[in-house]
Chain A
Amino acid sequence: MSAFRLVDGPLPDHPPFDVPVAAGAVVTFDGRVRDHNDGKAVQRLAYSAYAALAISEGETIMVEALAKFGLTAAACYHRLGDLDLGEAAVRVWAAAAHREEAFAGCRYIIDEVKSRVPIWKKETYTDGQSAWVLCAHQGSRG
């Protein structure tokens, strides 16, 4: 089973893996559609992706997180398509023996996904205008 997925529908409420009994902590993070960005009132968002590379880069990040933080299990699902305000766009689950590793691993996964995985967000504002959100590439190895 792939630990990093792009999904069209709502995200699962519970970890999409059997939480090992060795895990004393599971941290879940939601990235949600906010009603404002950069001083503008956001009405909705649309996400698109370069799926083949997004999935391979996402999987690489999951493997890195497991090794770096000793996570017992982890997953990250990101939505594509149109999303309304308040909806979860991305959800990360990180399980570890103790909370320190679980929090740190979860943080690592979301930070790396946001800076490395080829997914793009287009915001539509309440004034009818729209724009691609430009975040810098980080950790560029190209």
Chain B
Amino acid sequence: MKIHIQYFAMLAEKRGLSDEQLTVEATNLATLYDTLAALHGFPLSRSAIRPAVNDAFCAWDHPLRDGDRVVFVPPVSGG
């Protein structure tokens, strides 16, 4: 299954990219984040992240579908 990931803030810096297309075997967001975090050394655990799919926040057990746009939202600091 192919998905599109966008990275923001600290995760974009760590990854060295703002977005990429990935072919993944993971079928849920939790597995996907843990895999990427291990691969790229993301310093944030899942408890610090809110996942979003197709521009809406969602739960970690949200099932992934082909063509989804995924963002792992790091802790926010506006204002």
Q: How many positions in chain B have a CB within 8 Å of any CB in the partner chain?
A: 23
On whether the beta carbons of B56 and A120 are closer than 8 Å, the reply is no
The answer for the CA separation of A73 and B19 in the assembled complex, in Å, is 37
- B3-11, B20-28, B34-42 - the one binding chain A: B3-11
On whether the beta carbons of A31 and B6 are closer than 8 Å, the reply is no
By beta carbon, the residue of chain B nearest A111 is B79
Residues of A within 8 A of B10 (CB): 120, 132, 134
A123-142 near B? 1/0 per residue, CB < 8 Å: 00000000011111100111
Residues of A within 8 A of B13 (CB): 132
The yes or no answer to A26 lying at the interface (CB within 8 A) is no
The yes or no answer to A62 lying at the interface (CB within 8 A) is no
On whether the beta carbons of B79 and A113 are closer than 8 Å, the reply is yes
Q: Would A50 and B56 be within 8 Å (CB), given that A89-B79, A135-B77, A137-B48 are in contact?
A: no
Residues of B within 8 A of A116 (CB): 76
Residues of B within 8 A of A133 (CB): 77
By beta carbon, the residue of chain B nearest A114 is B79
By beta carbon, the residue of chain A nearest B9 is A120
On whether the beta carbons of B58 and A31 are closer than 8 Å, the reply is no
The yes or no answer to B71 lying at the interface (CB within 8 A) is yes
The yes or no answer to A95 lying at the interface (CB within 8 A) is no
Chain A binding site: helix, strand, loop or mixed by DSSP?
Answer: mixed
Residues of B within 8 A of A89 (CB): 78-79
Task: Point out the residue from A48, A136, A140 that lies within 8 Å of B8, measured CB to CB.
Answer: A48
CB-CB contacts below 8 Å: A6-65 with B: 31, 47-50, 52-54, 56-57
Task: Point out the residue from A53, A57, A120, A141 that lies within 8 Å of B77, measured CB to CB.
Answer: A120
Q: Would A50 and B51 be within 8 Å (CB), given that A135-B77, A142-B59 are in contact?
A: no
Q: Would A119 and B77 be within 8 Å (CB), given that A48-B9, A53-B56, A53-B57 are in contact?
A: yes
B53-64 near A? 1/0 per residue, CB < 8 Å: 001111110000
11 residue pairs of the A-B complex, CB under 8 angstroms, read: A53-B52, A110-B79, A114-B76, A116-B76, A118-B76, A120-B8, A120-B10, A121-B78, A132-B10, A134-B48, A134-B74
